[in-house]
């Protein structure tokens, strides 16, 4: 279409036939840009139909669709994941908000889980076979085997319904999660109870194995103080296995906490990925998958670097 000014000063739309070409089959066509910033090919006489998302009306079918496309968007490697097929909005801004929310939730959970689980696991491993070890190991196993949604529902019943202390749902709107810290208590507590038992048992097994090693017995025979043998000689090697588990669970805490986010209505990356999968929103799924892959690779790289500080043999090998 072209805008042509009439003698009376008015503007009229007319078809610009100069852009039309004829292919080998004698069909007229021309290339142009559509509303999605794609290079599109229109053909005369084609009755193709397309679906267009209109605000307030949803997806509407219209005629006159192009017969071919050449995508012209920047691409995921240039931080342009495209348009959501479900909402018709750019994926990037929504993805940044959802990733921020999940990072806040995962970061709080890790900050609470790591020191408590490692401390209790070390205490349990140093007192293997005692009543303290049995209590800690049994409690950790119970918290580990209970599904996430059961733990979340129990906490909602206890701390929201029976004792109305914390809200049972997370409704942030346009605010950041830290604007309502009371809404973060139950999701973080759910994740803490789930991960606490697993890391505790891994740390306990690693410490119990390390404390029985020959070089530890040699250190005791030399007359070194008990605390020095544990902290200097045993602790560093015993932490290798827990660090591996913690780094593996960073990815799970960031994108795999779908059940926890659904139970509490938390607007995070996991729930965003689930909604995209249910609606077959390919652009959102691709962007979320790329982020989770980057997090998984990055967490394992951090774990490899931490190994070099825990074990000098790895550092100089």
Domain boundaries, the chain: 91-315
Q: Cβ contacts of residue 183 below 8 Å, gap of 6+?
A: 166, 167, 169, 170, 171, 172, 177
Enumerate long-range contacts of 155-163, CB under 8 Å, 24 or more apart: 155/186, 155/189, 155/190, 156/186, 156/263, 159/185, 159/186, 160/186
Sign of CA dihedral 134, 140, 143, 144: negative
Amino acid 25: pLDDT: 72
Amino acid 109: pLDDT: 87
Please tell me whether residue 213 adopts helix, strand or coil conformation.
coil
Amino acid 313: pLDDT: 66
Task: List average pLDDT for each run of 10 residues in the chain, which is 317 residues long.
Answer: 47 52 74 70 74 68 71 62 78 87 87 87 86 86 84 90 85 76 88 85 86 84 82 79 78 76 87 88 86 85 79 62
| pTM for this predicted structure | 0.69
Pick the CATH number of 91-315 from 3.40.50.300, 1.10.3720.10, 3.40.50.720, 3.30.1370.60: 1.10.3720.10
Nearest to 250 by CA among 205, 290, 195: 195
How far is the C-alpha of 92 from the C-alpha of 97, rounded, in Å?
9
Amino acid 5: pLDDT: 46
Q: Cβ contacts of residue 237 below 8 Å, gap of 6+?
A: 210, 213, 310, 311
> End-to-end alpha-carbon separation of the chain, Å?
69
């Amino acid at each position: 279409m072209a805008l042509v000014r009439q003698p009376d000063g008015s503007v009229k739309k007319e078809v610009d036939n100069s852009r039309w070409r004829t292919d080998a089959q004698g069909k007229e066509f021309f290339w142009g840009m559509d509303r999605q910033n794609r290079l599109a090919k229109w053909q005369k006489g084609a009755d193709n139909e397309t679906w267009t998302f209109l605000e307030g009306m949803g997806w509407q079918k219209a005629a006159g669709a192009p017969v071919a496309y050449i995508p012209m968007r920047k691409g995921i490697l240039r931080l342009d994941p495209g348009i959501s097929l479900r909402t018709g909005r750019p994926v990037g801004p929504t993805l940044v908000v959802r990733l921020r929310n999940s990072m806040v939730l995962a970061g709080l959970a890790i900050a609470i889980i790591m020191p408590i689980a490692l401390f209790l696991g070390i205490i349990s491993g140093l007192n293997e076979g005692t009543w303290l070890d049995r209590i800690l190991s049994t409690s950790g196993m119970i918290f580990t085997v209970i599904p996430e949604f059961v733990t979340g529902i129990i906490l909602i019943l206890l701390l929201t319904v029976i004792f109305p202390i914390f809200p049972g749902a997370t409704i942030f709107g346009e605010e950041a999660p830290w604007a309502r810290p009371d809404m973060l208590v139950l999701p973080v507590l759910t994740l803490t109870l789930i991960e606490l038992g697993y890391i505790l048992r891994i740390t306990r097994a690693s410490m119990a194995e390390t404390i029985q090693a020959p070089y530890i017995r040699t250190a005791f025979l030399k007359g070194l103080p008990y605390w020095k043998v544990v902290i200097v000689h045993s602790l560093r090697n015993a932490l290798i296995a827990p660090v591996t588990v913690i780094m593996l669970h960073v990815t799970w805490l960031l994108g795999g906490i779908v059940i926890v986010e659904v139970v509490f209505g938390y607007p995070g990356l996991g729930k965003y990925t689930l909604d995209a999968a249910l609606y077959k929103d390919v652009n959102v799924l691709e962007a979320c998958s790329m982020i989770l892959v980057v997090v998984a690779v990055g967490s394992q790289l951090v774990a490899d670097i931490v190994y070099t500080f825990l074990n000098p043999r790895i550092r100089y090998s």
